Amino acid sequence: MNQVQKNLLIKEVLHMGEMASGAALTVPVYRLKGQGSGPGVYIQANMHGAEVQGNAVIYQLLELLQGLTLLGNITLVPYANPVGCNHKNGEYTLGRFDPITGVNWNRMYHFNEQQIPEFSEQHQASSIEVIEQAFRELLLADIADKLDHNVFGLTTGQRIAYQLQKMAHKADLVLDLHTGPISSKHLYCPEYAIDSARYFDIPHTIVIPNSFDGAMDEATFCPWWTLQQAFGELGRELDFNKESFTVELGSQEQIDLDVAYQDALSILSYLQYKGVIADASFQPQAMTRYACYLKDYKAFYSPMGGMVDYLATFGEPLAAGEPIARILRMDNYGDGDALHYLSLDRPVIPILHFASASVNQGTELYKVFCEYFEL
Ligand SMILES: [Zn+2]
């Protein structure tokens, strides 16, 4: 029988905090060591409690990666947020917001833009290797300082986020695995990395600017993008080859291991393109890939309360005036309009919709691409 030589897998258990009873909040961390000087990779899943498919994708990735020739180190973290993951109410998982502060769990990462002008001045004449190493050390020291020398302490979410960010800053490529509510697969991609979006088997890409709003992807690419721009202003064009993506794997509250296998192949196609994997032939699938800029990724809020029949198909362009949903109002039956059709005044691509059929006036019904283009 042929035996596949397996890469050494190292497992650690990271202590993220403590519950009131003293119970430890822990997260499993899996590391695979690369045999070359390829880019380092960091992949985490389930920062939002109900968005569980990424854990299944990490399982499939671990199964596949152990038999491949790796040129860079890979760190994988399922169940990245042990509070969100266990935050149930009835049969549903909540876990999008810290229940104590109300803050979105994926808006608590850190970026200190103020450090960059001084750093770039100081390293104006340094080699790219020296700049890269010194800047990485600066990012790590900044996070370590936040974690260890904060007199007034940290919120539960900041403590979790900073510990994850510490691992992510050590990598060159960062994938944060999420899902939508009821959703098609889509990708948040920094504008400068748009070529990489073609290597994922994901038909919809949201192109995002260099602005930090507290999310993991931004916390790991904004520093390098800002640094690159600072050097540009000093007359040096540098490319640090750092990329981060939020990968939205479909709908929340479900795992599908077969789909997860396909998602893992899609990630391997990207990693091979970036030189993390040798001697393999992972190729992106042929598909029409649509993109739109973040400013054109619009939420459509319900103009009325009621029961929603979601009509539009994800990923398919919907012409202006075509019905996107219809709302049932049984309180109006017999003496008013029981059925209301909703449409938009421009062509869109529906990407995701609210997870429940009952909505209040003002509930975010759909998120759609406007002004979309083919990649
Ligand atoms: Zn999410």
Query: Which pLDDT tens digit goes with each residue over 48-58?
Result: 999 999 999 99
What pLDDT is recorded for position 5?
Answer: 63
Report the domain count for the chain: 2
- Ion ligand 1, residues whose Cβ is below 5 A away: 48, 51, 178
Ligand 1: centre distance to CA 106 (Å):
7
Binning pLDDT at 50, 70 and 90, where does residue 2 land? very low
DSSP state of 200: S
Ligand 1: centre distance to CA 49 (Å):
8
d(CA 115, CA 142): 10
What pLDDT is recorded for position 162?
Answer: 98
d(CA 17, CA 9): 25
The answer as to whether 132 is a domain residue is yes
Ligand 1: centre distance to CA 5 (Å):
36
Ligand 1: centre distance to CA 1 (Å):
43
Residue 96's CATH number: 3.40.630.10
Statement to judge: residues 106 and 23 lie in one domain: yes
Ligand 1: centre distance to CA 134 (Å):
32
Domain end call among 241, 266, 287: 287
Structural domain including 175 reads 9-287
Ligand 1: centre distance to CA 305 (Å):
25
Ligand 1: centre distance to CA 316 (Å):
23
pLDDT tens-digit map of 151-172: 999 999 999 999 999 999 999 9
pLDDT tens-digit map of 272-319: 999 999 977 899 999 999 999 999 999 999 999 999 999 999 999 999
Statement to judge: residues 368 and 251 lie in one domain: no
Domain end call among 234, 260, 287: 287
Ligand 1: centre distance to CA 177 (Å):
8
Residues 6+ apart with CB under 8 A from 110: 142, 143, 146, 158, 161, 162, 165, 219
Ligand 1: centre distance to CA 47 (Å):
7
The answer as to whether 2 is a domain residue is no
Tokens of 352: 């995701």
pLDDT tens-digit map of 320-362: 999 999 999 999 999 999 999 999 999 999 999 999 999 999 9
The answer as to whether 138 is a domain residue is yes
Residue 346's CATH number: 2.40.50.100
DSSP state of 181: S
Statement to judge: residues 206 and 352 lie in one domain: no
Mean pLDDT of 250-255: 95
Q: What stretch of H or E contains 251?
A: strand 243-251
Statement to judge: residues 68 and 191 lie in one domain: yes
Ligand 1: centre distance to CA 98 (Å):
13
Residue 221 has pLDDT above 90, yes or no: yes
- Angle at which helices 156-169 and 216-233 cross, to 10°: 50
Ligand 1: centre distance to CA 40 (Å):
23
Domain end call among 248, 270, 287: 287
Tokens of 188: 């948040």
Pairing of the two strands 24-32 and 204-208: unpaired
Q: What is the chain's length? A: 375
Phi, psi dihedral angles at 119 (to 5 degrees): -65, -45
Ligand 1: centre distance to CA 241 (Å):
25
Mean pLDDT of 39-44: 98
